[in-house]
Amino acid sequence: MPEPKYLLFLGCVIPYRLSSYEISARKILDKLGVELVEMPEFNCCGFPMDPINHDLMLTLAARNLCLAEKQNLNILTLCNGCFGILNETNKMLKEDKKLREKVNGYLKEIGMEFKGTIEVKHLVHVLVEDVGFEKIKNAVKKPLTNLRVTQHTGCHIVRPKKLIEKDDPENPTFLKTLIRLTGAECLDYMDEAECCGNPIIGVNETIPFQMAKEKFDHIIAVGAQALITVCPFCHMMYDLNQPRIEKAFNMKIGIPVLHYPQLLGLAMGFPPEELALNELRVKPTELLSQIQG
Amino acid sequence: MSETQEYVPNVIKAEEMDPKFKYEISKLPGAEKIMLCFQCGTCTADCPISRFSDLYRPRKIARMVQFGLKDRLLSDNALWLCSTCFTCVDHCPQNVEIAGIVRVLRNLTIKERGVMPLVFKELASNLLKTGYVYEIPESRHKKRIEQGLPQLPKPNLEDVAKIFEVTGSSKILENVKTFEKVKS
């Protein structure tokens, strides 16, 4: 089987705030034999524009899909939001002839045409479907035995189900299985499939903070040492905002939030500094000393 | 309730109801199945936002669309509390895409009432200026080189501007008024 090759779609939030996710993802994918090609050109996936104008979102997304079609490469995203929108647009334009004609009418103005020849995948899907559990297992050199973590898969790589049809949205197992391959224990907790709330933080902070506080309550209750995410929005909600959530509810949380590639990278034997663990807001000091000790 | 206050029931007046509204809405992508909603309330019961909000109720939104209460819907800021987690879409026994209906109503509010949350206007303006919805500072670009990361892909701002223009978005955003926060 030839090595998988993808066009990397970084999105906006990762280069803006979370290069730690990009750095660690590039490291592990390179080692696992996934070749990444840089986008020749870029615009936002379209997700934040959907509330303004649905056609605007569709056309922005379709333009990125057209760029991938020209290179004859499938897209790999690290962000749940980018995956959700690019995958939704790709599927709808492939299936709905009338919608495709409409969007192609807009794209004609910039000299492009959607043909429907590529697929969109999130990092998690590439690890599960292309790399495979066996290869990941073999790449683990320093199993993270005795580490107890929890996962937050997020929404847009599982819901709406009819547009994705991969993992189970009610009980997502892809990320759990990927975590267990590192040797760490992945603990179940209450309401683990629930949204992080970040998409509305620009209009209302109170609700997302309450949602995050409740999630942390459930994570602390099972005795987890860390939370593992695969989306920059979810990560910002739980890591970057953690001190503010602590302040708002007058509580101590202290749960480090790692991007999955950072966890896998540690198990693969990368030194922590190569995985940009120092860039996390909540420092994983105890966790690292336990791994290295 | 004090005895001096007169009880005023929350009555829907017939003239508030636009009987054509539900048909107009059901022609828009995402809202096609609005007529199938039989008010079971699964969407509200399973909505993570509704658990923490006194104002956001997806079932109520669906009923208000069926009743044609257009003015009430398009002036209700609670529409902006949906976090697009799509739990309501997955759980609806009638396959009504509630989150799609909320998106249709948001689009309509901006188009017809010329009002939207400030944050989305800022994201749109960054996108038009840089191709990214956040303005990535020069220091970030420099740091990428230090960290051994490749340069970020360049935007094509001409194409982005053209997409805004042909989809009618530039016109929509031209004179739009904004508000900052939405109550819980």
- Interface predicted TM-score of the whole assembly (ipTM), two decimals: 0.96
Portion of chain A with pLDDT greater than 90, in percent? 98
Residue B25 lies in a domain: yes
Q: What residue numbers bound the domain in which B27 lies?
A: 12-113
Name every chain B residue with its beta carbon within 8 A of the beta carbon of A49: 120, 123-124, 127, 169
User: Where along chain A do its domains lie?
Assistant: 5-123, 138-292
Together in a domain, B90 and B149 = no
Domain stop point among B113, B129, B158: B113
What value does the mean pLDDT of chain A take?
97
Portion of chain B with pLDDT greater than 90, in percent? 93
Residue B42 lies in a domain: yes
Chain-centroid distance of CA A32 in Å reads: 18
Segment A121-126 shows an average pLDDT of 98
Determine the pLDDT at residue B176: 96
Together in a domain, B104 and B118 = no
Record: fold of A138-292: Rossmann fold (3.40.50)
> Which of 13-52 (B) contact A at CB < 8 A?
28-30, 48-49, 52
**A&B contacts, CB < 8 Å:** 183
Least CA distance to B123: which residue of chain A? Answer: A48
**B129-153 pLDDT, tens digit each:** 999 999 999 999 999 999 999 999 9
Name every chain A residue with its beta carbon within 8 A of the beta carbon of B82: 200
**A87-104 pLDDT, tens digit each:** 999 999 999 999 999 999
Determine the pLDDT at residue B2: 54
Please state the domain count of chain B: 2
Together in a domain, B92 and B130 = no
> B169 and A80 in contact (C-beta within 8 Å)?
no
Interchain proximity B167–A59, CB inside 8 Å: yes
Name every chain A residue with its beta carbon within 8 A of the beta carbon of B113: none
Give the best residue of B27, B53, B132 to mutate against chain A (max A CB count within 10 A). B132
Record: fold of A5-123: Glutathione S-transferase Yfyf (Class Pi); Chain A, domain 2 (1.20.1050)
Determine the pLDDT at residue A3: 83
* CA nearest neighbour of A204 among B104, B124, B53, B115: B53
**A168-189 pLDDT, tens digit each:** 999 999 999 999 999 999 999 9
CATH of the domain at B21: 1.10.1060.10
**A190-222 pLDDT, tens digit each:** 999 999 999 999 999 999 999 999 999 999 999
Percentages helix, strand, coil for chain B, rounded to the nearest 5?
50, 5, 45
pTM of the full predicted structure? 0.96
Q: Which two tokens stand for residue B80?
A: 């902006």
CA torsion, points A238, A244, A250, A256, in degrees to nearest 10? 30
Alpha carbons A65 and B85: distance in angstroms, whole number: 23
Alpha carbons B46 and B86: distance in angstroms, whole number: 10
A290's enclosing H/E stretch is: helix A285-292
Domain stop point among B73, B89, B113: B113
How far is the first Cα of chain A from the last one, in angstroms, to the nearest whole number? 39
